[in-house]
Amino acid sequence: MNIPMKFHTQGSPGLPVLVLGNSLASSMALWAAQIAVWRQQYQVLCFDYAGHGQSSMDGACTTVTALAESVLGGLDALGVDRFRYVGLSLGGMLGLQLAASAPSRVQKLVVANAKYFQTEADRQQWMDRIAKVELDGTESIADATVSRWLTAPFIASHPETAALLRGMIAGTSRQGYAAAAAMVRDIDFRPLLPSITCPTLLISGSHDMGAPAAHMAELAAAMKAQYLALSPCAHISNHECEAEFTAAVSDFLR
């Protein structure tokens, strides 16, 4: 049985609920700029995956299905029925699973910079990354990951953001990274797409190597979802294109 997710809450009780889902190897601090805006209109619930941020490995999940069950269990414990959801990368994959598993509960869905299935080549890359982290720790992949998450010009002009994200990556435990990366490696939402019926906004980055814009455009067409392509932008779009991301999502969530 999955352990219900423990949430950190910002915003006044009684406001509509907004759940935020992080990328792999990041913490809920990923959303600081957006939370400062959204907590005025929503009760914002955020969390850390097992072995990420301040979270222990208790209740670690290795499938997105199990993670979605944990999130729904945590919402049940808080008495939350319906909610809006915004997720980036692994958080976006989690959003797709939540919308498929509990279609009556997800009011609106935002999926940013997230794949909806992996090729065999993708799966091999994830197995290689997991093996490297298990052997050498997350510090060994921190610089390379930041270089995929942000464009080179943005890193040069915003070193403080690059350092913040690098710290999140290096601060993720080996076990936490491996468990979350296994979720990413194994996702395939193609059979589930017809069951996702809530209004959906998909966001991609023009320079995103992890979830290429063409891949996300295909997903938008398959889901008949709204689609926003941000440029110039790599994988962590809520930081690299912060103003555009926050404004577009705020408008969509209303």
Spatial contact of 107 and 42, defined as CB atoms under 8 Å apart: no
For residue 16, the 8-state DSSP code is P
Q: In DSSP terms, which residues pair with 111 in a beta bridge?
A: 87, 202
Amino acid letter at 61?
C
Residues in the chain: 254
Spatial contact of 114 and 133, defined as CB atoms under 8 Å apart: no
Domain residues of the chain, as ranges? 8-253
| Class of CATH domain 8-253 | alpha beta
Full pLDDT tens readout for the chain, 254 residues = 579 999 999 999 999 999 999 999 999 999 999 999 999 999 999 999 999 998 999 889 989 999 999 999 999 999 999 999 999 999 999 999 999 999 999 999 999 999 999 999 999 999 999 999 999 999 999 999 999 999 999 999 999 999 999 999 999 999 999 999 999 999 999 999 999 999 999 999 999 999 999 999 999 999 999 999 999 999 999 999 999 999 999 999 99
Q: Please give the distance of CA 217 from its chain centroid, rounded to a whole number.
A: 18
User: Which tokens belong to 176?
Assistant: 């936490």
Q: How far, in Å, CA of 99 to CA of 85, rounded?
A: 9
> Which of 207, 215, 96, 63 has the alpha carbon at shortest distance from 149?
207
Phi/psi of residue 101, nearest 5 degrees: -80, -35
Alpha-helical segments (H) within 142-199 = 142-149, 152-157, 159-170, 174-186
Overall pTM > 0.85 = yes
Q: Please give the distance of CA 48 from its chain centroid, rounded to a whole number.
A: 11
